[in-house]
Structure 1
Amino acid sequence: MLLYLVLTALALTVWWIRKRYSYWSERGVPFIKPTFPTGNLGGMASREHISAIMERCYKQLKGSGPFGGIFFFINPVALALDLDFIKTVLVKDFQYFHDRSVYYNEKDDPLSAHLFAMEGPKWRNLRAKLTPTFTSGKMKMMFPTIISVADQFQELMVKEIKTGDEIEMKEILARFTTDVIGSCAFGLECNSLHSPEAEFRRMGRKIFQFGKFKLLKIVLAQQFRAIARALHVTTVDSDVSEFFMGAVKQTVEYREQNKIERNDFMNLLIELKNANTSEKEDGLSALSIEEAAAQAFVFFLAGFETSSTAMSYCLYELAQRPDLQDKAYEDVQAALKKHGSMSYEAIHDMNYIGQCINESLRKYPPASNLLRLVTQDYKVPNSNFILERGSTMIIPVYGLHHDPEFYPDPERYDPERFFPEQVARRNPFCFLPFGEGPRICIGMRFGLMQARVGLAYLLKDFRFTLSNRTPVPLKINPSSAVLTSEGGLWLHVEKR
């Protein structure tokens, strides 16, 4: 009897899995044949980065319709293929796709419940509350803080080249952006430029230390969110959570007791925490200290890694092309001559530096895919197909950025692709390093500003060439959450 029950259960399981894997074929949608148990994610985190897997799926399905079918483990996922459809998802019909389909667990893992992962009205209202932090006026107020850190960064670079001309730039750039974000988000001196093992840098490093099992855990939690929450699955390490929660609580307590106000992100969070709780303005009550900590955490998380990665890739490419590096240097010099100093206006006058950063973000987008949750049944325009509520849509950013239809010879680094006349000729939805639409990265302007400052300071005073320790092409770390290289980025650096 027991054997009969086991065999019946096994047969039902096999039938159910086959039924799941026939999802797209039953609906007449072009799809890529899956393999149990990973679906179309075979080799992810061990052999390949997910960006390469999605690019291959995109190439295989492109031209077959507005989207194609793939599988994350046993779950069907729609892969967007057409730029007009991508615009529809991100902008035109945003009300059907307003959530990111990112796992978070507010109860067991409070730092995971941040703006990037939040859903529905709570996301919309908090986004509206936080947006004033990133206006051009606020950026201008934060600018002197960034310059102060950049001055220390320049001094450190001078010291570093006295001990040897080879420098691992990826880590030193992460220390620079850690100190910038720590000061602007927390109002704290992180000191990671002077001390590589400073607590903020150590914790920042740990956040992005992904073994393949941790990445698989996050992907599985995202695919089976209800089960993961029922099992109390967390994605932020307990020591990281304790550190950031403690840092926020101490900062808030100190500022409130001493009546300190600053033009930074933390000040806005304190205002939201102390808002009148008797009236739930716009449906959002005052933030708890845990909710405030989660927002500070994601600002730190998104701000230091993505900007430092973008700068390191930019330097890697410019180190191989001295002609482009000289153009970038001349761009910095022309802006400094025009404005007299490294001012907010001078930084934004460095057009070629901006184009170099954009080309770096095209070739190496830190967020290589965009995820969207279908929040209600959605009829796909010009078709009879219904995307069911609760299903996932993925937009293959890396695939779009490497599509020769939009970017001829896509592996070639060419900042001229972002000359205004070239940009005007392209569909804007084939360049999505920050997403697009109402859910575009809230800190985009801040990230670009600190990247411009960092590169301007480096190119103004130093010349870079490639070290033999850095491979060409770069090897991407398959288990990294963002698109990052393995083994650091070693460059020869000399003072100009």
Structure 2
Amino acid sequence: MVKDFHLFSDRKTRPYQHPVLFKNVFHASGDDWKRLRTIVSPTFTSGKMRKMFPMVRQCLGEYLDVLEVYATHGRDLNVKDMYQKLTMNVIGRCAFATDANALKDTRSTFVRHAQGMTEFKFWKMLGLFVLPLPVKKLLGLKFAGNEESNQFFLNLTKQIVERRKREGNTGKVYNDFVQLLVDAEAKSGNDGVAEGGPDEREGDSVEAHHVNEGKEELEVEKRTFAGNYGNKKLTIDEISAQGWIFFIAGSETTASTLGYASYELALSPHFQDRLYDEVCAAFDADGEIGYDQLSRLPFLDAVVTETLRLYPPVLRLDRKAKQDYRLADTGITISKGQDVEFPVYAIHHSELYYENADRFNPDRWMPQNRHKLIPYTYLPFGAGPRNCVGMRFGLMEVKLSLSHIIRRYRFVRSKQTAVPLQFPTVANLCIAKSVVVGIEKRFK
């Protein structure tokens, strides 16, 4: 994924290739991927995240009001479902400039289709994998997801883009993801990779360990994106595809991470107390915490990192070999065109790399202990040039949410809290059936 990235730069080919949706930076291959990545990456720099920060904070304020009701009446909280509503509101506002209102109106058109976006029918997935192409065409099997919901968001994105173009130079400023993509333009050579200057790169490096980013990784990134890759602007279909993958990646996975963190903190009150002490000291007199401060709280980062280790959003990563590749002195040769999978969940839970690997222990990620960790054994966001482009947005949302929630409320184990959690065997995502905890107010 890093040293010989040029030989494994593409993901494996899926048996279902949606004609528009798969024009996104996650699924694209070759120079198409390099071009998209060069254009999309600058929309996730620290500077851009600071502009989105107030929108995330506003959505969080609405969420805290709902939590107040649960905490006041001592009701158990299905954090998995509740966080999905929060992340749905955040993505709706930050990506599509739309008020999803998922906390109050669960039957709205936006919410219904947002839920449909993450519905993957098992029978459709099975058919796409095992049936021959003529049969799939006969049955109309093109994609495992909900086609109606996918089309809704494609149309929504196109409507937003067309409306923004009609508005022209009216002076109205938008800081949402769609507008950033409309304005985005690929830079020549490596300019797009390092957009924002040294200050922004320094700010981004604070959380670089989440993608194993070091000197070697930056050199590989620099070599990978050297050159020009055709059209420097995104087409409307490409903008729609990026919005779609941003929603998929930023809604379900972020909600799951928040849910698992809340669950583990409920089971480990001593860690929750330490987190409470750290975040409380970081809030200002107005009861707020800034973007830069969030990324500089070591125990908050350790809690999030350990949560992502125990519950990586994606269970495995994959790449396709561009040519025959010999694995050092093992005698094993990976043939050209062969798919290679990296078992992220198994690596994260291996006693070879982590002592008491199945135990929640944020201390293993504290600065004084990081030297004990083995490189590339932590892969929730991947590694190398194809790491998760939206990582910093996801971390910002998770850390901001946790800091405000823990400051006001305490998660506790209740009679409805399942230990251990139950996971269905499906697809490639780490999604529990239900995550329930109790919640209490810290101040009466």
Match of 1:302 among 227, 249, 274: 249
Amino acid at match of 1:264: D
CA contact 1:375–1:389 (8 Å) conserved in 2: yes
Residue matched to 1:21: none
When normalised by structure 2's length, the TM-score is 0.83
Q: 2 CA distance for matches of 1:194 and 1:339?
A: 27
Q: Distance in 2 between matches of 1:388 and 1:208?
A: 34
User: Take 1:351 and 1:229, find their aligned partners in 2: how far apart are those partners?
Assistant: 52
Structure 2 vs 1, CA of residues 226 and 440 (structure 1 numbering), >3 Å: closer, same or farther? farther
Contact 1:167 / 1:492 at 8 angstroms: preserved in 2? yes
Name the residue aligned to 1:92. Answer: 3
* Partners of 2:128 and 2:136 within 8 A in 1: no
Residue identity in the other structure for 1:100: R
Question: Matches of 1:111 and 1:298 in 2, distance apart?
Answer: 8
Q: Tell me the equivalent position of 2:239.
A: 292
Contact 2:16 2:128 in 1 (8 A): no
Cα offset, 1:287, TM superposition:
3.0
Flag the 1:438–1:160 CA change in 2: closer, same or farther, 3 A. same
CA distance in 2, matches of 1:418, 1:204: 34
From 402, 411, 415, the counterpart of 1:464 = 411
Residue type at the aligned position of 1:247? L
- SS of the aligned residue for 1:367 comes to coil
| 1:127-142 equivalent positions in 2, closer than 5 A | 127-142=37-52
Of residues 343, 358, 361, the one that matches 1:414 is: 361
Where 1:433 maps in the other structure, the secondary structure is coil
User: Displacement of 1:339 after TM fit?
Assistant: 9.3
Cα distance between partner residues in 2 of 1:480 and 1:126: 26
1:429 counterpart SS class: coil
Are the equivalent residues in 1 in contact too, given 2:74–2:440 (CA < 8 A)?
Answer: no
Are the aligned partners of 1:105 and 1:113 in contact in 2 as well (CA < 8 Å)?
Answer: no
Match of 2:115 in 1: 205
CA distance in structure 2 between the aligned counterparts of 1:365 and 1:316, rounded to whole angstroms: 15
Alignment of 1:143-222 (within 5 A): 143-217=53-127, 220=130
Give the match for residue 381 of structure 1.
328
Letter in 2 for 1:321: S
Shift, 1:399, TM fit = 0.7
1:426 aligns with 2:373: yes
Q: 1:387 to 1:339 in 2, by over 3 A?
A: farther
Structure 1 residue 216 displacement after superposition = 3.1
Structure 1 residues 495 and 378: CA distance shift in structure 2, 3 A: same
Residue aligning to 2:400: 453
Q: Structure 2 counterpart of 1:465, which letter?
A: V
Q: Is 1:249 matched up with 2:158?
A: yes
Tell me if structure 1 keeps the 8 A contact 2:125–2:144: no
Q: Distance in 1 between matches of 2:117 and 2:303?
A: 28
Q: CA 1:418–1:169 in structure 2 vs 1: closer, same or farther (change >3 Å)?
A: same
Q: In the TM superposition, what is the alpha-carbon distance from 1:421 to its structure 2 partner?
A: 2.5
Q: 1:407 to 1:208 in 2, by over 3 A?
A: same
| Distance of 1:92 and 1:405 partners within structure 2 | 22
Moved more, 227-236 or 403-412: 227-236
- Cα distance in 1 between the residues matched to 2:147 and 2:393: 29
Describe the shift of the 1:282–1:254 C-alpha distance in structure 2 as closer, same or farther (beyond 3 A). same
Q: 1:299-448 alignment to 2 at 5 Å? A: 299-337=246-284, 341-448=288-395
Q: C-alpha deviations, 1:406-448, integer Å up to 9, x for none? A: 1111111100011113222211211001000000000111101
Partners of 1:215 and 1:481 within 8 A in 2: no
Aligned match of 2:179? 267
Within a 5 Å distance, the mapping from 1:119-134 to structure 2 comes to 119-134=29-44
Deviations 1:343-377 (A, max 9, x none): 11232232211111111100111111001111222
Structure 2 CA distance for aligned equivalents of residues 391 and 371 of structure 1: 10
Structure 1, unpaired ranges of 5+: 1-89
Of residues 412, 416, 420, the one that matches 1:473 is: 420
Give the Cα–Cα distance (whole angstroms) in 1 for the partners of residues 135 and 29 of structure 2: 18
Deviations 1:362-403 (A, max 9, x none): 011111100111122223223554311111000011111011
Q: What is the rounded CA distance, in whole Å, between the counterparts of 1:201 and 1:429 in structure 2?
A: 37
Q: Is the 8 A contact 1:319 1:464 kept in 2?
A: yes
Segments of structure 2 that go 5 or more residues without pairing to the other structure are 188-226
Amino acid at match of 1:303: G
Instruction: Give the Cα separation in 2 of the matches to 1:225 and 1:316.
Output: 44
Cα distance between partner residues in 1 of 2:133 and 2:328 = 29
In the other structure, the counterpart of 1:493 is 439
2:342 and 2:186 map into 1 onto residues whose CA distance is 38
Stretch moving more, 164-173 or 429-438 = 164-173
Assess, with a 3 A threshold, how the Cα gap between structure 1 residues 146 and 156 changes in structure 2: closer, same or farther. Answer: same
Aligned AA (1:357): V
Cα offset for 1:236? 3.0
- State how far apart, in whole Å, the 2-side matches of 1:296 and 1:421 are: 39
Q: How far apart in 2 are the matches of 1:405 and 1:444?
A: 27
CA contact (8 A) 2:38 2:186 kept: no
- C-alpha distance 198-346 of structure 1, shift in aligned 2 (>3 A): farther
| Number of equivalences | 399
> Mean alpha-carbon deviation: is it higher for 197-206 or for 367-376?
197-206
What's the TM-score once normalised by structure 1's chain length?
0.75
For residues 129 and 163 of structure 2, the distance between their equivalents in structure 1, rounded to whole angstroms, comes to 38
Q: Residues 282, 167 of structure 1: CA spacing in aligned structure 2 closer, same or farther, 3 A cutoff?
A: same
Amino-acid identity (%): 32
Do the aligned partners of 2:26 and 2:245 also contact (CA within 8 Å) in 1? yes
Distance 1:422 1:139 in 2: 29
Moved more, 419-428 or 208-217: 208-217
Mapped partners of 1:273, 1:217: distance in 2 = 39
